[in-house]
Amino acid sequence: MLPMKDKLRSLCLLPLVVTLAAAAQTQTTPPIKMGLWKTSSTITTSGFQLPPEVAARMKASGRDPGQPRTVNTLSCLTAEKWKKVFDPTQHDQHCQFTNQQQSSSSMSADMACSSGAGAHNATGHMAMTFDSTEKMHGKFHMEVNSQSQPHPILIDNTFTGVYQGSDCQGISPDTPKLLP
């Protein structure tokens, strides 16, 4: 079982991974440049019940559970990883994408995912706009039902991505870097 910190980090990165996984299902290179991308995501979760001691530690560190949180990451995007790394089956997820739409300037999809162990399932919708080859933005909504939570967890994410250059500066395509 993952520690609470890792569960929260996974929830924060999940929208980006699922968005890219939906895009990877198209098997075409996206209309954006490959290389280093900085992504800023504002994530709001509700329905997630934290143990009281975890909620108290978060409040003591200045974070209010349930309030929107902005997470910034650097990611190395390559054509190979677009097709492989973001495959949800590599993350113990089994996802099906429906209502997929892709054009030269946008993409969207509905999704239904479940963990390999059956501990949770999720449904959601994502939409992404490619503003240019160096900028994108989008939104993501997911409802997660988990055996360990009495109510569904709702995740809403709005994000922007800005191309930083062709040099990934040592960041592995396999592991986005969380920024402070």
pLDDT tens digits for range 54-64: 888 888 888 77
What value, to the nearest 5°, has the Cα angle with vertex 49 and ends 4 and 141?
A: 90
53 versus 160: which is more confidently predicted?
Answer: 160
User: Mean of the per-residue pLDDT values for the chain?
Assistant: 80
**Which residue shows structure tokens 């019940």?**
49
Which one-letter DSSP state was computed for residue 88?
Answer: G
Chain segment 138-151, per-residue pLDDT in tens: 999 999 888 877 88
**Which residue shows structure tokens 């979760």?**
45
Query: Which phi and psi angles does 81 have, rounded to 5°?
Result: -70, -30
Chain segment 5-26, per-residue pLDDT in tens: 444 444 445 555 555 555 555 5
